[in-house]
Amino acid sequence: MKPFRLALAQIDTRLGDVAANLDTHLETITRARRRGADLVVFPELSLTGYMLQDVADEVALTPNAADPVFRRLLAASRGVDLVVSFVERDPRHSLFISAAYLSDGELVHLHRKVYLPTYGLFQDGRFFDRGRSFRAFDTRFGRFGLLICEDFWHVSAPYALWLDGAELLMLVSASPGRGLNGGGRLESARWIENITQTYASLFTVYVAQNNRVGFEDGLCYWGGATVIGPDGEHLAQGPDFEEALVVADIDPERIRRARLALPLLRDEQPALLQRALARLLGEPPP
């Protein structure tokens, strides 16, 4: 990995209004360029809004230059890399909650949300198909991993990306505010901050989580975008309940120092885990 400047675009989105959301993206990208950003990361379903339910198909996009929305985003990615999130329609007309990494006018990586919450107020599993893989990918800055909201709650997802060489884990979410703890902080905010710091420290990687803000269908999204260093230190923190552009400089020297002090990746034994999983699944050991 080489040094670069990361910007988390903690924005509000308009439910189902792709044109307005695209304008917000392009304006935000322009502001991020002025601040020297090399990579701009937007929240989960930043182009469409989250609580779409039966209108999801009406706002679905295809991440290539034939799609008029993506044609403009691909053009905007020349000189500054982008992570955008949207409802994706595949050739079979299946719908996915997806996030795309764009660079220099090209689609570098597409991640489809694997874990679809369908409990409490969440209805993802009713309207969307699930992704089938976790893969790290190479960029002009280094090797990254990309996850969407509920994916990050399952330790197997960041673990797989860590073993696959990711040195920056990006989490994009649309997490509504729920509960208050004794200190007056939202429980949902506290949980996400705890887990991002834990993963950064255990995997000795950078973790960048970006959550949206605003109100949608009676839900309040709290924001709180955060960048954590591979030593567990908070490097940047977005405000609660307001839009912001959260900027942090990523220095690969931090990873080198963290892994010298805590060589967990060097000492990890994935083959041992493979044998344990085979036993638990009732399969012959490899």
Which of 203, 122, 125, 194 lies closest to 158 in space, CA to CA?
Answer: 203
pLDDT of residue 183: 58
Cβ atoms within 10 Å, residue 47: 24
The Cα-based distances of 182 to 47, 57, 190, 220, 224 in angstroms read 35, 41, 11, 20, 18
Residue 22: exposure state from Cβ atoms within 10 A (0-12, 13-18, ≥19): buried
Give the list of residues 6+ apart from residue 276 with CB closer than 8 angstroms, or none.
none
pLDDT of residue 229: 98
Number of H helices, E strands in the chain: 8, 14
pLDDT of residue 181: 60
CATH number of the structural domain 4-280: 3.60.110.10
pLDDT in tens, the chain (286 residues): 999 999 999 999 999 999 999 999 999 999 999 999 999 999 999 999 999 999 999 999 999 999 999 999 999 999 999 999 999 999 999 999 999 999 999 999 999 999 999 988 888 999 999 999 999 999 999 999 999 999 999 999 999 999 999 999 999 999 887 666 655 667 778 888 899 999 999 999 999 999 999 999 888 999 999 999 999 999 999 998 999 999 999 999 999 999 999 999 999 999 999 999 999 999 887 8
pLDDT of residue 189: 81
The string of DSSP codes covering 110-140 is: EEE------STT--HHHH-PPP-----EE-S
Residue 191 phi, psi (nearest 5) = -65, -45
